[in-house]
Structure 1
């Protein structure tokens, strides 16, 4: 039995598991056939998000507006950058089952490899982190979204910064910005490292390169129009919902219809407060807590957060938990709450009437993440992290 357990904790075994899940989720989505999003509505595939991404590439080539509805092709809007639409050309011409499988495998691999790249973590710690996030990974893969990629890129950015690979680190962060703009928050980690002018220069270079990259298929006027349309869409989208977020929690639990910008500004302030402890910048534990705070913050303060986005937050929670030198009872309870109510709440473990009647309406999925983020901020503000390397063996 111990040999089987040791085998399961081997990086190669976990890599095979993650890649297999990518293929499994893709084949499952194709085999499920068509569905509607509204009663008596148009029929769409069960991998609708992938279709949105794929069609964005063709819309880009055809000089169309990326940010309007195309109800004959897919449900919902495309919400990413023109650069991401161009990137999807790597998948767009492939048969759906192959392109979708490669897309999901890429997402799974980036998350796996990001965790494996974390410095000062043992293989056992990394394996435990990956096992905690695997349920949320599957949810994201089944929705054919980019969230595992986002989590992987943000973790890779931290790992590269720790190794002073600044060109790579800034690329990873800018790539997240051109997927989902909230990746900008990760630039706060630049404060911890020397050569900040180099970090700033590389960031600007990558930002400009990614900004103009679509010029290989569109002219400047069309690209300018697309960025303006993207901005308008994001502004309109801002008022659409509360999502599984702090805003949703305040509204559904307490009836507080808070201004989203006020809540977001409060979140930014709380996120930045620990960064005033400049003397702790040299402490690895403090830096890893900042990574965890970032991964959770970008979800719980995102008014559009949905179930499939929480692989990002759970990655931060898992890293936070297994980076601890002493596993306190309260933190163990918080992790159990996160696994049960964040990762397992969308599953059949909970009867449908509970999921639809309580868990979803009251955004229960977000609550453990909010509590853990608050705990992380507390630890960063009032605890003195240690430089001692954690060893769970």
Structure 2
């Protein structure tokens, strides 16, 4: 009990900051009747019950359409069944709580985790202001990594599979399969959770409706992918989106960029000789959080809570996180890029320059290149003896971690 109280005391100030942000965004949106996204989310549950198309326009209820998978109906159900104001408040607090919980489980020294929370606070505010599910999506990747490290594949695969069935991004967590020492269990539990995730919504609907909904979901995402691409689009804040904007050429193809992202990540995780290094594995998690955003045409400002977490996990797991190069990235990502799409930047600068050329993405692209270079070429085994103040071995024995001297 004392240990738990001490842990809360350490994280309390920054946790209260995130909770305050969540509550401020809730009251601002709710009392000004600007909670359209929450209406869409709650509608997924109600339309599943009524067996009406989950991806149609419902202008009498909200504008825009749902783009999450059918299993999301069960995730949002506890909130959708409550009065709107209360359900919306709990939704915001849940997003904050789940992500805080995931971050506190990272195998980093406590001061490093506190700094991650602080440096991602603006991006967290951005996603909460937009009423998004991105904090839980980011948490699902972090938790899948955590449970693989704990050799609890049954829970690791739960977060990967269910997250993927909601918003595709967590599928990148399958790379942690290569870090698993229980690969058969990983595969078996992945199949079990896939069956559960696909069939469970049938309990509040029907098998035919849910299977049709998966077909509808595919068509919805395909259509959205086309709509996202545009020189002035709020989406497509991706590596290929930057290229399209710089060249003013909408015909710049997406596929070569996706191939680049997949090939580099694949080459990195197949450096099997580096898998014993906790730092290497943690940096793969960081890169995965970046990749799902940088190579998605659906990326928009609120999505960058996911990429910013990856960036900060990488930067703050360095031996000297505030060296000149690192400090420049920390400032650019946690402050400049985080504010680039907000009213903190005057419109005459933001719209024709920052937004037009997706400059929010630029520091992430440079950092991605640095991370790929390091992960492909660095011998992490040599660096392990220097990490005595970086890592907190909270879930694996030191003799198994590749950080025997980390104390």
Name the TM-score, length of structure 1 as normaliser.
Answer: 0.91
Q: CA deviation at 1:349?
A: 3.3
Distance 1:205 1:78 in 2: 26
Residue in structure 2 matched with residue 296 of structure 1 by the alignment: 290
- 1:137, 1:311 within 8 Å by CA — same for their partners in 2? yes
For structure 1, the 5+ residue unaligned runs are 1-6, 34-45
Residue 387 in structure 1 maps to residue 381 in structure 2: no
SS of alignment partner, residue 238 of structure 1: helix
Residue in structure 2 matched with residue 213 of structure 1 by the alignment: 200
Equivalent of 1:122 in 79, 95, 109: 109
- 1:160, 1:166 within 8 Å by CA — same for their partners in 2? yes
- 2:71, 2:201 within 8 Å by CA — same for their partners in 1? yes
Q: CA deviation at 1:8?
A: 11
Equivalent of 1:226 in 213, 225, 236: 213
- Superposed CA offset, 1:19-63 (max 9, x none): 222222111111223xxxxxxxxxxxx111111010111111111
Equivalent of 2:310 in 295, 309, 316: 316
Aligned residues: 375
SS of alignment partner, residue 230 of structure 1: helix
Residue 337 in structure 1 maps to residue 335 in structure 2: no
Q: Which moved more, 1:318-327 or 1:127-136?
A: 318-327
Residue 55 in structure 1 maps to residue 43 in structure 2: yes
Equivalent of 1:137 in 124, 135, 140: 124
Distance 2:329 2:175 in 1: 26
Equivalent of 2:243 in 247, 250, 267: 250
SS of alignment partner, residue 78 of structure 1: coil
- 1:324, 1:390 within 8 Å by CA — same for their partners in 2? no
Q: CA deviation at 1:9?
A: 8.4
Distance 1:379 1:392 in 2: 18
SS of alignment partner, residue 173 of structure 1: helix
- 1:111, 1:151 within 8 Å by CA — same for their partners in 2? yes
- Superposed CA offset, 1:300-339 (max 9, x none): 1110111001000000011111100133422222222212
Equivalent of 2:96 in 108, 111, 118: 108
Residue 352 in structure 1 maps to residue 347 in structure 2: yes
For structure 2, the 5+ residue unaligned runs are 1-6, 230-235, 392-407
- 1:153, 1:176 within 8 Å by CA — same for their partners in 2? yes
Residue in structure 2 matched with residue 40 of structure 1 by the alignment: none
Instruction: Please provide the CA RMSD for this pair.
Output: 1.9
Distance 2:23 2:176 in 1: 34
Residue 21 in structure 1 maps to residue 9 in structure 2: no
Residue 272 in structure 1 maps to residue 270 in structure 2: no
Distance 2:388 2:25 in 1: 34
Residue in structure 2 matched with residue 174 of structure 1 by the alignment: 161
Residue in structure 1 matched with residue 134 of structure 2 by the alignment: 147
Q: How does 1:371-386 map to 2 (within 5 A)?
A: 371-385=366-380, 386=383
Residues 157 and 390 (structure 1), Cα distance of their counterparts in 2 relative to 1, 3 Å cut? farther
Residue in structure 2 matched with residue 83 of structure 1 by the alignment: 71
Residues 178 and 93 (structure 1), Cα distance of their counterparts in 2 relative to 1, 3 Å cut? same
- 1:341, 1:364 within 8 Å by CA — same for their partners in 2? no
- Superposed CA offset, 1:101-127 (max 9, x none): 1111111111111110012x1110110
Residues 390 and 79 (structure 1), Cα distance of their counterparts in 2 relative to 1, 3 Å cut? farther
Distance 2:371 2:272 in 1: 17
Residues 363 and 390 (structure 1), Cα distance of their counterparts in 2 relative to 1, 3 Å cut? farther
- 1:124, 1:392 within 8 Å by CA — same for their partners in 2? no
- Show structure 1 runs of 4+ deviating over 6 A: none
Residue in structure 2 matched with residue 41 of structure 1 by the alignment: none
Name the TM-score, length of structure 2 as normaliser.
Answer: 0.88
Distance 1:234 1:241 in 2: 10
Distance 2:270 2:74 in 1: 39
Residue in structure 2 matched with residue 235 of structure 1 by the alignment: 222
Residue 203 in structure 1 maps to residue 201 in structure 2: no
